């Protein structure tokens, strides 16, 4: 790279920086410093504000941009001429004019990736301009473009270099539209067609014939049958195939397959109601190189079926969510599947201490474990999990009601690599949270309906888990005003301490934390600049608190049901002030009260309203909640 001194940025800047240490640094060195800043845009913003030269160099260095507002798009595009990845998920309103501006901008020729998965209001014309002028585009995400039809799909065919394309929930695209894409985009390596209900055997078959370089194909919930399956399995490089909810595929269609796909590494046949253990045996026999297998909501997992897994010598991940699993099957899996990195038994009936303990003690390499709603396991299983699987990065154990509060201390003592922990509806208490505070790498922590935790326990989380992005405190009734004297982490004060210690929070659920009021919103608005989603239902927040959140430029989604202190004028002001809102959940009574012109303005800006008619739910006594849970179990 050609080096130049920062002092060369201009004569005026040269005089300014003559006595500055930074004038000895070359552009190459500054680029290296920027590389170490990572992906946090706030860090890069701070860097660019050091001086005018840093401001200019940061603009040249930036490769990925994520605008917060559509109206800022023209300035951003001109400032970052070398951008390769454009994420528009915070811009719900993207029109054809926006796409034209992107195409004709300085970064148009260098653009390789664009995410439109949360954007609307563009048409085939805008996509055609994008595909024809951004010739280096290799990745487009159009998930949730529910209004996109065949002309829009045909416009995408002009992106000849496209390698990755997401079309999830584009329900109006038919075989004709996907056929145009297959003919025009033959370099595709990833194609997601989940919930594209207008596409059938003809369209998928054409994709399999024309796009021979495909590595990943998702045809979940499509109306396909055995007609296109042979063509799919003939793809020479196919590694990841998702057939979730494909009811047209059954045992008979699988039995006719003479050859499997030798390159296949991951297969998902969840919710395929017409595939039994017989069809599964056909799949396993023909795909012995599988590394990841998902059989969620499928046939019962018995010992013979589990025994057939021994042929999959390279198996690293298995998901059996919602399946009925026998004790003998778990023991057989423990004998043959000893190198798993991921195991998911969420809502599997039949999981007991005896069988599960035999399985988990052999999983020394396990990184991700999901035992949600496995209500028969006890402290015995958790002790073995924490002693055998010390390298866990994700542990989900919602509603494991037989595990005592003392057992949760083992998590913090032994599993210090955890990044995700779901303890929703469990007996964990403050001592457990004190131990879990040692898991300093935590990014996601869910403590909803944990009735034994108080402010004291949460204070340990706020002090140690600075990387926390998602925090769920839904209905944590133990955090009460009476504890204010003993600990600062309480109600609104406690929420303030959480936001100060966990500045990366992007998702916060404080539903039914009725001791949190406007005083908690002020530090939240000041410190949580990355917050994208919040649930304030049943809290004590009023107009003033809601307006305070308007300063969070990233805020996209709000759920504000049953706020007693919320007035119509306060709600109106907050909705107008929060310019980036894409989704708002409100009680249906507000629908007739809010001015129609206001709703039209907000919807034109890209905001979608979800109206709920749920009556106010009075708070249950914690003991009643526990008794109700035991009754349901």
Radius of gyration for the chain, computed over Cα atoms and rounded to the nearest angstrom: 27
Please give the pLDDT value at position 151: 97
Please give the pLDDT value at position 258: 64
Distance of CA 391 to the CA centre of its chain: 22
- pLDDT surpasses 50 at 394: yes
Give 510: exposed, middle or buried? Use CB within 10 Å, 0-12, 13-18, 19+.
buried
Q: Would you tell me the crossing angle of helices 175-184 and 201-210 to the nearest 10 degrees? A: 0
- pLDDT surpasses 60 at 479: no
Least confidently predicted of 389-398, 452-461, 532-541: 452-461
How high does pLDDT run on average in the chain? 88
Which residue reads 């002693």 in tokens?
A: 387
Q: Are 359 and 334 in contact (CB under 8 A)?
A: yes
pLDDT digits (tens, 9 = 90+) for 64-74: 999 988 888 99
Least confidently predicted of 227-231, 511-515, 546-550, 628-632: 628-632
- Average pLDDT (23-27) is 74
- Average pLDDT (485-503) is 66
For residue 631, give Cα distances in angstroms to 225, 407, 594.
43, 24, 42
Please give the pLDDT value at position 19: 55
- pLDDT surpasses 80 at 142: yes
Please give the pLDDT value at position 619: 53
Of 48 and 77, the structure prediction assigns the larger pLDDT to: 77
Please give the pLDDT value at position 8: 54
Phi-psi map region of 378: left, alpha, beta (phi>0 left; psi -120 to 50 alpha)? beta
- Average pLDDT (338-343) is 93
Please give the pLDDT value at position 254: 84
Of 43 and 531, the structure prediction assigns the larger pLDDT to: 531
Q: Residue 630 — pLDDT band, cuts 50, 70, 90?
A: very low
pLDDT digits (tens, 9 = 90+) for 583-611: 999 999 999 999 999 999 999 888 999 99
Query: 22-26: long-range contacts at Cβ-Cβ below 8 A with a sequence spacing of 24 or more?
Result: 22/50, 22/51, 22/53, 22/54
Q: Are 490 and 484 in contact (CB under 8 A)?
A: yes
Please give the pLDDT value at position 615: 81
- pLDDT surpasses 70 at 126: yes
- pLDDT surpasses 90 at 496: no
pLDDT digits (tens, 9 = 90+) for 274-332: 998 888 888 888 888 999 999 999 999 999 999 999 999 999 999 999 999 999 999 99
Distance of alpha carbon 537 from alpha carbon 511, whole angstroms: 5
Please give the pLDDT value at position 591: 92
Token pair of 447, please? Answer: 């403590």
Please give the pLDDT value at position 617: 67
- pLDDT surpasses 50 at 582: yes
For residue 435, give Cα distances in angstroms to 246, 380, 462.
45, 18, 13
Any residues with CB less than 8 A from the CB of 467 and at least 6 apart, and which?
440, 441, 442, 443, 502, 504
Please give the pLDDT value at position 543: 95
- pLDDT surpasses 90 at 18: no
Please give the pLDDT value at position 23: 65
- pLDDT surpasses 60 at 406: yes
Token pair of 488, please? Answer: 């600062």
Please give the pLDDT value at position 605: 87
Percent of the chain with pLDDT over 90: 68
For residue 149, give Cα distances in angstroms to 139, 320, 608.
19, 36, 21
Please give the pLDDT value at position 475: 59
Phi/psi for 610 (5° steps) reads -115, 115
Which is nearest to 94 in space by CA: 66, 122, 72? 122
Q: Residue 20 — pLDDT band, cuts 50, 70, 90?
A: low
Which is nearest to 513 in space by CA: 542, 544, 480? 480
Any residues with CB less than 8 A from the CB of 525 and at least 6 apart, and which?
548, 549, 550, 551, 552
Please give the pLDDT value at position 451: 82
Please give the pLDDT value at position 487: 29
Please give the pLDDT value at position 6: 47
- pLDDT surpasses 90 at 226: no
Which is nearest to 245 in space by CA: 216, 269, 278? 269
pLDDT digits (tens, 9 = 90+) for 561-570: 999 899 999 9
Of 543 and 17, the structure prediction assigns the larger pLDDT to: 543
Distance of alpha carbon 130 from alpha carbon 253, whole angstroms: 41
Q: Residue 21 — pLDDT band, cuts 50, 70, 90?
A: low
Distance of alpha carbon 374 from alpha carbon 426, whole angstroms: 12
Which is nearest to 264 in space by CA: 283, 292, 240? 240
DSSP 3-state assignment of 232? Answer: helix
Please give the pLDDT value at position 442: 96
pLDDT digits (tens, 9 = 90+) for 508-525: 998 888 888 999 999 999
Query: What size, in residues, is the chain?
Result: 633
- Average pLDDT (15-40) is 72
DSSP 3-state assignment of 17? Answer: helix
Please give the pLDDT value at position 476: 57
């Amino acid at each position: 790279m050609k080096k130049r001194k920062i002092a060369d940025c201009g004569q005026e800047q040269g005089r300014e920086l003559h006595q500055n240490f930074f004038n000895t640094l070359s552009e190459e060195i500054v680029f290296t410093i920027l590389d170490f800043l990572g992906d946090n845009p706030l860090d890069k913003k701070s860097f660019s504000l050091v001086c005018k030269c840093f401001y200019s160099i940061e603009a040249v260095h930036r490769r990925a941009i994520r605008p917060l507002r559509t109206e800022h798009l023209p300035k951003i595009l001109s400032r970052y001429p070398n951008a390769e990845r454009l994420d528009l998920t915070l811009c719900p309103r993207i029109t054809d004019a926006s796409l034209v501006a992107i195409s004709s901008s300085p970064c148009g020729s260098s653009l390789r990736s664009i995410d439109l998965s949360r954007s609307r209001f563009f048409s085939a014309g805008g996509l055609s301009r994008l595909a024809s002028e951004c010739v280096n585009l290799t990745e487009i995400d159009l998930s949730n473009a529910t209004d996109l039809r065949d002309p829009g799909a045909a416009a995408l065919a002009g992106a000849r270099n496209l390698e990755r394309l997401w079309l999830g929930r584009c329900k109006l695209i038919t075989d004709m539209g996907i056929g145009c894409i297959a003919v025009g985009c033959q370099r595709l390596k990833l194609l997601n067609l989940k919930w594209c209900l207008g596409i059938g055997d003809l369209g998928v078959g054409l994709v399999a014939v024309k796009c021979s370089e495909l590595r990943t194909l998702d045809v979940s919930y499509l109306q396909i049958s055995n007609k296109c399956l042979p063509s799919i399995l003939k793809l020479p490089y196919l590694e990841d195939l998702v057939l979730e909810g494909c009811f047209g595929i059954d045992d008979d269609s699988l039995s006719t397959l003479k050859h499997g796909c030798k390159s296949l590494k991951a297969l998902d046949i969840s919710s395929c109601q017409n595939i039994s253990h017989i069809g599964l045996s056909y799949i396993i026999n023909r795909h012995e190189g599988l590394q990841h297998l998902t059989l969620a909501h499928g046939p019962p997992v018995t010992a013979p079926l589990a025994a057939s897994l021994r042929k999959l010598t390279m198996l690293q991940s298995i998901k059996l969510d919602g399946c009925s699993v026998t004790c003998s099957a778990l023991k057989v899996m423990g004998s043959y599947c000893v190198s798993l990195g991921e195991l998911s038994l969420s809502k599997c009936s039949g999981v007991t201490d005896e069988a599960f303990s035999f399985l988990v003690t052999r999983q020394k390499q396990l990184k991700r474990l999901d035992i949600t709603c496995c209500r028969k396991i006890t402290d015995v299983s958790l002790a073995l999990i924490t002693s055998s699987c010390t390298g866990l990065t994700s542990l989900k154990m919602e509603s494991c009601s037989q595990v005592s509060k003392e057992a949760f201390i083992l998590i913090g003592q032994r599993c210090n690599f955890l990044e995700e922990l779901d303890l929703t509806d469990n007996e964990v208490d403050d001592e457990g949270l004190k131990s879990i505070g040692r898991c300093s790498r935590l990014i996601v922590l869910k403590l909803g309906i944990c009735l034994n935790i108080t402010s004291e326990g949460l204070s340990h989380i706020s002090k140690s888990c600075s990387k926390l992005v998602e925090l769920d405190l839904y209905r944590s009734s133990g955090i009460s005003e009476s504890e204010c004297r003993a600990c600062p982490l309480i109600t609104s004060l406690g929420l303030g301490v959480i936001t100060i210690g966990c500045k990366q929070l992007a998702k916060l659920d404080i539903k039914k934390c009725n001791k949190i009021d406007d005083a908690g919103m002020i530090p939240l608005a000041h410190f949580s600049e990355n917050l994208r989603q919040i649930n304030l239902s049943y809290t004590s927040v009023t107009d003033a608190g809601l307006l305070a959140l308007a300063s969070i430029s990233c805020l996209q989604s709000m759920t504000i049901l049953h706020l007693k202190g919320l007035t119509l004028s306060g709600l109106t002001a907050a909705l107008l002030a929060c310019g980036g809102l894409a989704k708002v959940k409100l009680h249906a009574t507000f629908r007739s009260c809010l001015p129609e012109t206001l709703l039209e303005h907000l919807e034109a800006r890209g905001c979608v309203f979800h109206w709920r008619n749920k009556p106010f739910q009075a708070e249950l006594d914690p003991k009643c909640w526990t008794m109700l849970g035991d009754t349901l179990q």
